[in-house]
Amino acid sequence: MRIGAALYRGYHVGVKIILANPRGFCAGVYMAIDVIDQLLEVTDDPIYVYHEIVHNKHVVERFRDQGVIFIEEISAAPEDAIIVYSAHGVSPQVRAQARGRNLIDIDATCPLVTKVHAEAIRYANRGWQILLVGHRDHQEVIGTQGEAPDAIQVVEHPDEIPSLQIDDPEKLIYLTQTTLSTDDAEVIISALKRAFPSLKSPPSEDICYATTNRQQAVRRLSPDCDLVIVVGSTNSSNSVRLTEIARNVGTDAILIDDVGELNPDALEGVHRVLVTAGASAPEDLVHSLILELVRNHGGEVEQHDVFHESIEFGLPGSLKKFMRSRGVDPEGRRISMDNIKATKSFLQANGISHRLVDLTVNGSC
Ligand code: SF4
């Protein structure tokens, strides 16, 4: 919508701020962050994390400030140390390296990434070739490919299809990275199906519920807005994809790590702004952005609910085992996870009135 909503009653009411729901932390990110939080509570030993626990600058910096050590090579962890695998998962080769150093490994891989690993192993063991649609430099894709390097070829773009080495097109399946743009994936998968008509689809959708829901909310809400602000880091695949989805429907979009990166010029002539956040972006960063938009650009806040999410993952078995080894009962030890409730409290505490718009069609997921 390009008509100035700010002028709809004949006077200036500032920027209308639409908060997309769902946004921000997904169940896998909550679990991964909870793993580190729990470890910080139950042990004074150094905690090493292989790669960023989730792809968000603030999350990593906050843990670094608490003494957590992020490493890019397993060899950087001393023997017998605690090593946590990030939410993106790791290859069997990395696990073997950790075993070789006698590390205590705690697996914060998102169960939905583990599901893709399991599919890759199953089909490779049956002698199938696997086309893994995704970004070949992304940690998740590196980890999945490592499960069956001889059977898996990564496809990042349809241009790569002619160079694929296919032995038997009747034993060919595609899998996908969990955080792809559903639009981009569709383009690549359609091209693959044209090239290999017998290509089998994954047993269940690999692009995860959180990616799909956040993208669907942006796809639905951004056409009525002049600007989409995505809170997230540039190395967060799902955050970058949200900006692309908005641009695909013709709305300008910017990606910022925090409100400090917001250039006021971006709001020039903007009457309705959609605020969302990638699956690894903490909600308090969204709060700071709302405060800036309300205080310095006026306006009203509306939360538009497109899906209600209720998925939760329990603490990983490897962490529970570790806790028990330290005499800690893991039952009932979870951080609270409710962005929406937290934001409602935040808005009330700051005297910011807001309205809820329920656009959910068929409940929750
Ligand atoms: S974005 Fe999806 S796959 Fe990635 S951690 Fe979240 S739920 Fe898991």
Residue 210 pLDDT grade (very low, low, confident, very high; cuts 50, 70, 90): very high
State whether 140 and 171 are in the same domain: yes
State whether 168 and 231 are in the same domain: no
State whether 105 and 246 are in the same domain: no
State whether 179 and 215 are in the same domain: no
The number of residues making up the chain comes to 365
State whether 163 and 270 are in the same domain: no
Kindly report the CATH number assigned to the domain that includes residue 185. Answer: 3.40.1010.20
Q: Which of residues 109, 132, 156 is at a domain's end?
A: 109
State whether 343 and 215 are in the same domain: yes
Kindly report the CATH number assigned to the domain that includes residue 99. Answer: 3.40.50.11270
Q: How many domains does the chain have?
A: 3
Per-residue pLDDT at 265 exceeds 90: yes
State whether 346 and 229 are in the same domain: yes
pLDDT tens digits, residue range 170-208?
Answer: 999 999 999 999 999 999 999 999 999 999 999 999 999
**DSSP string over 324-345:** HHTT---TT------HHHHHHH
350 CA from centroid of ligand 1 (Å): 31
**DSSP string over 153-197:** EEE-SGGGGGG---S-TTSEEEEE-TT--HHHHHHHHHHHHHH-T
pLDDT tens digits, residue range 111-127?
Answer: 999 999 999 999 999 99
Residue 334 pLDDT grade (very low, low, confident, very high; cuts 50, 70, 90): confident
State whether 165 and 227 are in the same domain: no
Residue nearest (by alpha carbon) to ligand 1 atom 5: 28
State whether 224 and 301 are in the same domain: yes
Which is it for strands 82-85 and 47-50: parallel, antiparallel or unpaired?
Answer: parallel
Residues with CB under 6 Å of ligand 1 are: 26-29, 87, 110, 112-113, 178-179, 208, 210-211, 238, 279
State whether 184 and 232 are in the same domain: no
State whether 131 and 264 are in the same domain: no
Question: Structural domain of residue 308, as residue ranges?
Answer: 5-27+209-312+336-358
Residue nearest (by alpha carbon) to ligand 1 atom 7: 28
State whether 21 and 35 are in the same domain: no
Question: For residue 40, is it within any domain?
Answer: yes
